[in-house]
Amino acid sequence: MTLPEIEDRLAAAGVDSPRFDALELIAHFEKISRAGAMAGGDFQSPALQDGVERRCRREPLAYILKQWDFMGHTFRLTDQCLIPRSDTELLCSLLIEKLPAGGRFADLCTGSGCIAIAALLARRDAQGVGVELYPDTLKVARENARMHGVENRLKLLQGDVCTMELSDS
């Protein structure tokens, strides 16, 4: 499949940003840069073909790639996590800006942990707690915290924020 063929298939499936998605899929599955994807070629990876089919079925690109960028950092994702949105970056920017020196914060329903982790990456003097109800989602947050080197400043707890029943599991 070529870039134009993938782009046409995604457009025919009603994908809002077929060129962006095609480039992301090619770059990810062919393990090349976006520039390399734009340079063209005939891409035959079975993983790419599967990714294109999944996107044509309107599966979110972030779930296909199993990662997404937030605040300039790449985070691992699964379909157990909400996809970080650009408007959430405003919330995170406010946290970074308003948090006092040496401050502590809680990220309730932390999901992938992207808000807490991005804040800790920007504020090396801060510490945080992330609470997540679902064990599989909490595993993703833990993996992201380790990947970004903030696991010592982010305590992750499993629990229900509505009942405040928490555990270290």
Q: Strands 104-108 and 154-160: what pairing?
A: unpaired
pLDDT tens-place string over residues 69-116: 999 999 999 999 999 998 999 999 999 999 999 999 999 999 999 999
pLDDT band at residue 21 under the 50/70/90 scheme: very high
Q: Give the CA dihedral 132, 136, 140, 143, nearest 10 degrees.
A: 110
pLDDT over 80 (residue 5)? yes
pLDDT tens-place string over residues 148-168: 999 999 999 999 988 877 677
pLDDT over 70 (residue 169)? no
